[in-house]
Structures are given as C-alpha cells and as structure tokens.
Amino acid sequence: MTILIALILAPLTLLTLCFAVELLCGVRALRAQPAPAAAAIATVIIVPAHNEEAVVGENLALLKERSNGAAILVVADNCTDSTAELARRAGAEVVERFDSDRRGKGFALDFAKRRLAYAPPDVAIIMDADCVPDPHSIERLIAACAATGRPCQAIYLQKPAVGGSPLLQLSTFAFFIKNVVRQRALQRIAGRVHLLGTGMAFPWALFDKAELATGNIVEDLELGLDLADDGHPALLVEDAAVWTDPAAETNTMDQRRRWEGGYLQGALRWGPSLLLKGVRRGDVRRLWTGLSLFIPPIALLVTLDLAAIAAAGLVYLISGAGLVPLVVLCAALFLAAVAIVAAWGAGGSRFIPLSRLAQVPLYLAWKLPLYLGLARRGAPGEWVRTHRG
C-alpha cells in the first residue's frame, strides 16, 4: 500500500518541488544586458483591439508618447463600439476587420501581418489595447530584439489593487509570481520564457513566418513553444515592463477561467511532447520546460496538494500504510510556502500586504468553483474583452 500511495503522490510531489525551485530561482532579478540604440530600427507596434473604447484613447496616447518613434497600427477586430474612431483620434493608423466566423486575437494579428508585408518593418511589437508600457520599455524591447534576433518578452504585470479586496490582491500577486518570478526562473534554467500575449517583440523574419491565424485562446503560448522548437527561444527583457489594470472584481473569475483554462489545455497538449523530446535527446532545458508547463496555477496546485494530503492521511489511518510519501509531499508543500514568502519579499509586497497572505485559504475556496467548472466544461474558446476597474 505504501508503494501505491508513493506512486500516486509522486507526480504531484515532483511538480510542487519544481514550483518551489522555480520561485527560489526567480526571486533575484535578471542582469540587464547592454543593447544598441533602437532609434534607427524600423518598428511597428501592432495593437489588436476588440471593443476597447473604454481604454483605447488614453492608452494609445501614452503608448505614442513612449513608442520611441515606432509606428502604431491598431486592428479594430469585429468591434461594435467606437474603438476605431477613438484610435484614429489618438493618432494611430487603424484598420478594421469584420469576420464573425474567424474571431480571435490570432486572426487580428495575421490580418496586421498581411497588411505590413508590403513594406515590412525590422521589428514588430504586440501590445494589447488595455496595456501601457513603462517609459523606455519600447526602446529596450526593440534594442534587445534587434541585437539578439530572438523574440523578446517584456515583464507583464497587473497594477497593484491598492485598497482592493483580499481576493483581488491575491490575484495580482499570483499574476506577479507567474509572469515575473517563474519567467525569470525559466530564463535561468531553460534559456527561454513563455510569450504572454502583450509586450512581445519579434524580428520581422520570425513574425512573417509565424502561424498566427488561429482562434486558440493561448495562441501566444503556442507561438512561443513553436518558435523555441525551431531554434528561436523567447528572451525575457526585464528592464521593459507593461502594465494592465486588474479585472473588476465581478469579472476576475471570468478572466481567470479563460487564462487558466487555456493554459491547462495548452499544458496537456504540448507538455508530453516536450518531456518526451527532453528525455530522448538528453536535453535538460527542454525537459524542465515540459515539467514547468505541467505545473498548475498556484491556487490549483495548493488545492490538489491539500486534497492529496488529506486523502493520503485518511488511507494511513485506515490501513496503517507508511508515512514517508505523505511526509515528502508535506515537505514539498512547506518548501513551496517558504518560496512564496520569498517571492513576496522580492517584489510581491507591492501587490499585497503580508497580513493578507494568511487569507490564501479564502482564495482557494473562491477559485474552487472555477476548477470544477473547467473539469466539467473545459476552457472557453472565444476572445472576450475583460472589463477592468
């Protein structure tokens, strides 16, 4: 019985340990790499937008101010509001696309690519309409992309929900762990990072060849994995950052359902092949990428750990099986908790006070219906604007 329990708990224990290792490897910032001036590098910033009238005018004004002279092309995709008009007023070039059968961000990006093919830039940057870059971030992205010839990913964060509810603050903290701490670790361990859908820069030659016309809600994750498989792994540019407002609390669950459902779907699709290739080729970096891809979102991972510990403890009480597998999983979960606190101390404190970390059980209970819904119905498949506040 002890061996059986060990085999059942082993995958979860391994993923929990990998999660803890990633956090501990990612608490320290990456060293900024010197890059050439970006002024002479022809660049177009592509902004796919679907019904973004609430933010597009203000955000484009800031983007233009911080664009380092790059042209801005807005793709108003299947819009039923005044997104296109407001984008034109903000000084951007705007193209409108209407195709009710081919909806999604990937189709909008492919539309932009075909339009730019007649006079292609050196670098293409993707920036979501609800995101704003820090000053000089565009310049650093362009320079890094041109210098390395690799896809480049900026830090992508939600603005701290100062005065927000514990659930909202925990959500923005989890966003920081996923998009900063774990990305740093992937860069250090695997030599690559995941593309996050916004704040991305591509050499035109790579962008032109990319398969973009897809309705996949995690097209950015797929694109990054495909490019890495072809020898072009994405690079994290830590001194470039883009920010978005956190979702309004009433819409946070819908946002998480799309993001996390799509991520889990992608992990099941691409994780096994990465692991298999890593083992066959003795490629530790590819193997780690596959393991990292299988790590569930933090709330789901902790929920699964606690459920497994409770179930294994019950089996121990009933059958008298050995305690070693249970103790090892508990130790892995404890190490993960220590790593989470370390991540809080290495930048996460901007998003949540330490006292509210104690309310993690509330966060887990809040997200449990989300995971039960994903188990029953799968991930949503449509590009829907998230209402923010």
Domain boundary among 212, 237, 266: 266
Is pLDDT of 16 > 90? Answer: yes
Find the CATH number of the domain harbouring 120: 3.90.550.10
Above 80 in pLDDT, residue 387? no
- The 10s digit of each residue's pLDDT in 18-73 is 999 999 999 999 987 656 565 688 999 999 999 999 899 999 999 999 998 899 99
Residues 57 and 205 in one domain: yes
**Last residue in a domain, options 208, 234, 266:** 266
Same domain, 12 and 47: no
Q: Is residue 35 part of a domain?
A: no
For residue 387, is it within any domain? no
- Same domain, yes or no, for 160 and 213? yes
User: Can you give the residue range of the structural domain that contains 349?
Assistant: 2-27+274-377
142, two tokens: 């362009």
Please enumerate in sequence order all residues whose Cβ is within 8 A of that of 181, keeping only pairs 6 or more positions apart, or say none: 22, 23, 26, 27, 343, 346, 347, 348
Domain assignment of residue 38, yes or no? no
- CB within 8 Å of 54: residues ≥ 6 apart: 387
Last residue in a domain, options 220, 240, 266? 266
* Structure confidence at residue 37 (pLDDT): 61
**Is residue 17 domain-shared with residue 76, that is, in the same domain?**
no
| Contact predicate 220/138, CB 8 Å | no
Number of domains in the chain: 2
Inside any domain, residue 36: no
Within 10 angstroms of residue 377's Cβ, the number of other Cβ atoms is 10
Q: Are strands 131-133 and 235-244 parallel, antiparallel or unpaired?
A: antiparallel
- Per-residue pLDDT band at 219 (split at 50, 70, 90): confident
pTM given for the model: 0.89
- What average pLDDT is seen over the chain? 86
Looking at the structure, tell me whether residues 130 and 175 fall in a common domain. Answer: yes
Q: Is residue 8 domain-shared with residue 49, that is, in the same domain? A: no
